[in-house]
Amino acid sequence: MVSESEINVNSKVKVVSLFSGGLDSSLAILLMLRQNIEVHAIMFLTHFGCDIVDRSSCSQDPYPVAEKFGFSVRLSHLGEKFVEIVKNPKFGHGKNMNPCVDCRILMLEEAKFVMEQIGAEAVITGEVLGQRPMSQMRNTLNLIEKETDLKGRLLRPLSAKLMQPTIPELEGRIDRELLEDINGRSRKRQMELAEEFGLEDYPNPGSGCLLTDPNYSSRLRDLLKYSSIINFDTLNLLKVGRHIRFSPETKIVVGRNEEENKKIEQYKQPDDIVFEAMETGSPITILHGKATDDAIEFAARATARYCDQKTQPSVRITVTHPDHGDVIEVAPIDNSKLAKMIL
């Protein structure tokens, strides 16, 4: 029979960590590693975040830092579950379309599942008391703990000393004295810790979630209101081009440069109509939805408006339907007509 004190000494403590690749979640992990605790990090991906395989994107590739400091990391895409909470968050949206409280709950529920699977003792996060208005106030942190049924097993190492001790702290499995008491928006202490741990090259705080972006949010609201097709392509299309709501049934998207033209073609739906300024090859425009004669003419004129021949009285536009193609000649549309419809 092994005594409790022997358990403390002999078995390695494991925790599961939410990991964004940012400063706070990295430091939370490093505070665990400092105590020789085994960390299993999870980086959650959604349709609204950065693309970690895109070097120009805002998020971090998690593997170099995991390798450098010695913890494991797995990627987990929240897919449809996340889209559902964006549409109908139990605890509402923030300033834009960000359902931060529901988002934290969902991620923690997933992490809790892993915690139970691997026999870890707690889920840790990089949350800092009082740092963010919606999801990191004390009552919200308590609410999140209650909703996830992680009572006593949810540890925020950066603010732990300001909160009730968790079970592994009470049992002496995690040393509370080696945790932090950070409160508020200043990042001074985090910068000191980063230096102490030799942590470099982390993204700026707040970057990464498109749902906090007002422009993206307004396009997303429009998509959720008018379209039944919510998928990888339709959500990614919101990131590029000028979006024009022509009517409840019709949307037009015009590329702003060559890169966006390519993405627009990549994300279009099979029935979308494609427009292209014939002489200049750019922009590419797509019309999604009901293709009335008026809508087609409007999309062609918008294409003409944004091409290099926009000062000409008329411009030739190729119109590619799913089953045939046309060429039409139209006058570039007036800015004042477009302005009212741009999302």
The contact set with ligand SF4 (CB under 6 A) reads 98-100, 103-104, 135, 209, 211-212
Q: Which residues are CB-neighbours of 23 under 8 A, at least 6 positions away? A: 126, 187, 190, 194, 199, 202, 203, 205
Q: Closer to ligand SF4 at the Cβ: 99 or 283?
A: 99
Q: Closer to ligand SF4 at the Cβ: 174 or 210?
A: 210
Judged by phi (left if over 0) then psi (alpha if -120 to 50, else beta), residue 125 lies in beta
117 exposure class (CB count in 10 Å sphere: 0-12, 13-18, 19+): exposed
Using DSSP bridges, classify how beta strands 325-330 and 154-155 pair: parallel, antiparallel or unpaired.
unpaired
Q: At residue 263, what are phi and psi to the nearest 5 degrees?
A: -65, -40
DSSP-derived secondary structure letter, 313: S
Q: Closer to ligand SF4 at the Cβ: 111 or 211?
A: 211
Task: Give min distance, CB of 254 to ligand SF4, in A.
Answer: 28
Q: Closer to ligand SF4 at the Cβ: 60 or 98?
A: 98
Task: Give min distance, CB of 79 to ligand SF4, in A.
Answer: 14
Task: Give min distance, CB of 179 to ligand SF4, in A.
Answer: 22
Q: Closer to ligand SF4 at the Cβ: 135 or 166?
A: 135
213 exposure class (CB count in 10 Å sphere: 0-12, 13-18, 19+): middle
Q: Closer to ligand SF4 at the Cβ: 152 or 205?
A: 205
Q: Closer to ligand SF4 at the Cβ: 45 or 167?
A: 45
Q: Closer to ligand SF4 at the Cβ: 100 or 315?
A: 100
Q: How far apart are CA 332 and CA 310, in angstroms?
A: 6
Residues 280 and 303: beta-carbon distance below 8 Å = no
Q: Closer to ligand SF4 at the Cβ: 27 or 209?
A: 209
Closest listed residue to residue 112, CA positions, set 12, 15, 8: 15
Q: Which residues are CB-neighbours of 280 under 8 A, at least 6 positions away? A: 307, 308, 309
Residues 302 and 333: beta-carbon distance below 8 Å = yes
At 38 the three-state DSSP class reads: strand
Task: Give min distance, CB of 211 to ligand SF4, in A.
Answer: 5
Task: Give min distance, CB of 94 to ligand SF4, in A.
Answer: 7
Count of positions (residues) in the chain: 343
Task: Give min distance, CB of 110 to ligand SF4, in A.
Answer: 13
Q: How far apart are CA 126 and CA 258, in angstroms?
A: 39
The residues that bridge with 274 in the sheet, in sequence order, are: 286, 320
Task: Give min distance, CB of 151 to ligand SF4, in A.
Answer: 21
Task: Give min distance, CB of 99 to ligand SF4, in A.
Answer: 6
Task: Give min distance, CB of 17 to ligand SF4, in A.
Answer: 15
